[in-house]
Structure 1
Amino acid sequence: MLKQHVSKRGNSIKLMGIVNVTPDSFSDGGKFMHTQTAVKQALQLLAEGAACIDIGGESSRPGAANVSETEELRRVLPVIKALRRQTKTLISIDTYKPNVAAAALQAGANCVNDITGLADQAMRQLIAKTGCPVVLMHMQGTPRTMQKRPYYKDVVRDICDFFTERLALARSADIARKQIILDPGIGFGKSVKHNLEIIRRLGEFKKFRLPILVGASRKSFIGKLTSADVTQRLPGTLAAHNSAVQNGATWLRVHDVAAHKQYLMISHELT
């Protein structure tokens, strides 16, 4: 289960390792399309210190096209089944489709990462029925439209309002608070300014008294600020995540687990 780690100390921060079984993800698209390769990558991330593996079969990069349920299941189910045979760790399915989530949970996943923030009633019912942990993320628009002039009156307050609304929906669906982790959705319908503001003011989400996940790994705002190619954004990622941890993040969703583990170990020793 996802646990609520409230300390800022480095050894309390949990890492969610990313494995995209997609041809078009912004960072590692096409690298892990084969089951054996994807499982090998997942096991490597676990060996490096990941507490959870997040498996996705549909890219959510800006402008990404939708993938059918059939294709998404074809991509992720063999990976989940094979990985579950080799580990008892937390496996998350990165999907907003209730049928995909249900099949993934039956195959061995035990967490759902929903970029639509439990928008679908069927997803809420599934989470309530299974009792599994769920990442409730904020996104303005859809992956296809989200980066077309995103606008907020106050980005953090607007996300707080969104969380308040979705937590009420979760409660009405009998989803327990202990199942929920919040994700403000770095890069999902946000400008560079919005992303920086969210990280600076992350502490304002503490009022919900729930774990907070931040996923800034290799995101485009780092590239826009530094002109670094997607493969060269680890330093910027570490800087963003360091600030997020200092401001209250308890989970980090990352591509580079070993580097983050080392950063967290040294950060812990310095506090």
Structure 2
Amino acid sequence: MRFPTVEPELGDPVRTIGARTFDFSRQVAVMGIVNRTVDSFYDRGATFALDKAVGAALQAAEHGADWVDIGAVPFSPIAERVDERAELDRLLPVVEAVRAGTDAVISIDTFRAEVARQALRAGADAVNDTSGLHDPDMARVVADAGATLVVTHSRAAPGRELARPHYDDVVAEVGAYLLDRAGRAVAAGVAKDRIVVDPGHDLNKNTMHSLELTRRLGELAVLGFPLLASVSNKDFLQETLDLPRDDVAEATLATVVFCVLAGARIVRVHDVRAVRRVVTMTEAVLGWRRPAVLRHNV
């Protein structure tokens, strides 16, 4: 599939995000998920309390997360509504505390430009906008801060349901959307080497759409920006195996490896320790890193 593009070449695969530098030609960044919400689809409020959220973020870094993604507003349209003030009250103390405890990249999962502005001032390095720049001021806020922007494919407005989503070709449509939104970000002043794209598995998509995105992920890995895959414990894994969300750990790991082999260079996950080991092993098999030790038959 061929897409219109800002510039198709990925160019220099080295990206500096916050205090960390990544060579995406031979390295995969692990992003740990921390939700300060009462009704996130996976942890159901386990990290809502401030101390729990901070502890989970720092533990993720200790377990090998290169990047911690902190959110306070669930994507689901049936979740509790959280206004801007409440979102800021939940996020800012977590960002400040985590920033004091680690040099890992910190991103904020938000669709609100003002929340992004204040979180970046508090110490965040990136914004993970799962709404695809729904707020027209978002790209400019990120540009002014010199921060990194994750542009995600989703079609409905934040908090709104998209019933029975239809795509003639989900990969082609997602690719065109991501390039359009990346182009808007560049026009607003975000540097091209500060943009990451995410096809948005399950976001306004059904299981067949998410499986096809995964199968053809390589077509999106050449758009000109590092590709993030957020597949951890998602509905399409649960429905494929007909298992509950707390029983798809193996499916998550298998899908993460598939995404890395297809070109994903950032993986957003709940179980950081397990995924860090899987990613490290994958990098070693690909010849991107040496084993930590050599003892057998040496």
For the aligned pair, the TM-score class normalised by the smaller chain equals over 0.9
- Deviation per CA, 1:8-43: give whole Å up to 9, x if none: x5xx11101000000010001211111111111111
Q: Which of 116, 133, 136 matches 2:148?
A: 133
1:128-207 equivalent positions in 2, closer than 5 A:
128-142=143-157, 144-146=159-161, 148-207=163-222
Q: Which residue of 2 aligns with 1:84?
A: 99
SS at match of 1:206: coil
SS at match of 1:15: strand
Q: Which residue of 2 aligns with 1:262?
A: 277
TM-score (norm 2): 0.86
Post-superposition offset of 1:269: 3.1
Using the TM superposition, name which of 184-193 and 227-236 deviates more. 227-236
Residues 1:89 and 1:57: Cα distance change in structure 2 (over 3 Å): same
**1:191 touches 1:221 (CA, 8 Å); kept in 2?**
yes
Q: Which residue of 1 aligns with 2:237?
A: 222
**1:64 touches 1:143 (CA, 8 Å); kept in 2?**
no
How much is the aligned-residue C-alpha RMSD, in angstroms? 1.6
Letter in 2 for 1:225: T
Q: CA–CA distance in 1 between the matches of 2:23 and 2:250?
A: 25
Q: CA–CA distance in 1 between the matches of 2:251 and 2:161?
A: 23
Aligned pair count reads 268
Structure 2 unmatched runs, 5+: 1-15, 287-298
Post-superposition offset of 1:155: 0.3
Letter in 2 for 1:216: V
Structure 1 unmatched runs, 5+: none
Letter in 1 for 2:215: R
Larger Rg: 2
Post-superposition offset of 1:130: 0.8
Q: CA–CA distance in 2 between the matches of 1:108 and 1:219?
A: 29
Q: CA–CA distance in 1 between the matches of 2:194 and 2:276?
A: 25
Name the structure with the higher helix share. 1
Q: Which of 24, 47, 52 matches 1:32?
A: 47
Residues 1:127 and 1:251: Cα distance change in structure 2 (over 3 Å): same
**2:32 touches 2:67 (CA, 8 Å); kept in 1?**
yes
Post-superposition offset of 1:59: 0.7
Q: Which residue of 2 aligns with 1:61?
A: 76
SS at match of 1:26: coil
Q: Which residue of 1 aligns with 2:291?
A: none
What is the aligned-residue identity percentage?
A: 37
TM-score (norm 1): 0.94
Residues 1:77 and 1:214: Cα distance change in structure 2 (over 3 Å): same
Q: Which residue of 2 aligns with 1:41?
A: 56
**1:180 touches 1:211 (CA, 8 Å); kept in 2?**
yes
Post-superposition offset of 1:120: 2.1
Q: CA–CA distance in 2 between the matches of 1:62 and 1:237?
A: 24
- Deviation per CA, 1:104-133: give whole Å up to 9, x if none: 111111110001122322111101111100
SS at match of 1:85: helix
Residues 1:105 and 1:205: Cα distance change in structure 2 (over 3 Å): same
Q: CA–CA distance in 2 between the matches of 1:132 and 1:255?
A: 24
Q: CA–CA distance in 2 between the matches of 1:183 and 1:13?
A: 14
Q: Which of 104, 110, 119 matches 2:125?
A: 110
Letter in 2 for 1:128: A
Q: 2:113 matched to 1:101?
A: no
Q: Which residue of 2 aligns with 1:245?
A: 260
Q: CA–CA distance in 2 between the matches of 1:90 and 1:81?
A: 13
Q: CA–CA distance in 1 between the matches of 2:163 and 2:197?
A: 24
Using the TM superposition, name which of 223-232 and 243-252 deviates more. 223-232
Post-superposition offset of 1:66: 3.3
**1:62 touches 1:144 (CA, 8 Å); kept in 2?**
yes
